[in-house]
């Protein structure tokens, strides 16, 4: 689960983490150079991308602790800070569809949260599911 690797957003921005996902897509929104991300997470995102056959957008992947603190309603223990989480949406598909498929993939592990416009996915060891739709 904790197969987090580190990349350099300056020199490896376009490096392929999977056939459809590059380093810059999961880099922290504050421009920080190191990018920590779990390959297990990437493999799940790639699976989702291929399953739906449509562009998958990553709103947020890795976050530094300081950047995370600036994100509205974020948890101080956010899985994003460990490189274990991504907030995603898939073109042409609702968050409910993406959530349902990701739930099948994760089984009895990992975190999933559904929001109005995106889905949070993380690869924590235990199981967590939450609904933040308003």
Structure-token pair, residue 98: 């993406």
Quick check: 49 binds Zn ion (CB under 5 A)? no
Backbone angles phi, psi at 60, to 5 degrees: -160, 135
120 is a site residue for Zn ion (CB under 5 A) = yes
Q: Name, in order, each residue with C-beta under 8 angstroms of 53's C-beta and a sequence gap of 6 or more.
A: none
Size of the site for Zn ion (CB under 5 A): 3
Contacts of 94 (CB under 8 A, 6+ apart): none
Region from 20-28, 39-47, 61-69, 84-92 binding Zn ion, contact rule CB under 5 A: 84-92
Q: Does 87 bind Zn ion (CB under 5 A)?
A: yes
Q: Which two tokens stand for residue 55?
A: 């562009």
SS3 59: strand
Of 2 and 130, nearer to Zn ion (C-beta) is 130
**Among the candidate windows 6-14, 25-33, 62-70, 80-88, which touches Zn ion by CB under 5 A?**
80-88
Rule CB under 5 A: which residues touch Zn ion?
Answer: 85, 87, 120
């Amino acid at each position: 689960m904790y197969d987090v690797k580190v990349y350099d957003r300056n020199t490896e921005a376009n490096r392929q983490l999977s056939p459809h996902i590059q380093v810059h897509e999961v880099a922290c929104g504050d421009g920080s150079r190191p990018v920590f991300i779990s390959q297990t997470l990437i493999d799940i995102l790639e699976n989702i991308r291929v399953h739906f056959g449509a562009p998958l957008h990553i709103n947020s992947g890795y976050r530094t602790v300081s950047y995370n603190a600036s994100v509205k309603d974020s948890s101080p223990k956010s899985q994003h800070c460990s490189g274990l989480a991504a907030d995603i949406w898939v073109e042409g598909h609702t968050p409910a569809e993406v959530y349902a498929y990701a739930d099948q993939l994760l089984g009895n592990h990992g975190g999933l949260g559904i929001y109005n416009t995106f889905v949070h996915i993380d690869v924590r060891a235990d199981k967590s599911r939450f609904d933040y739709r308003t």
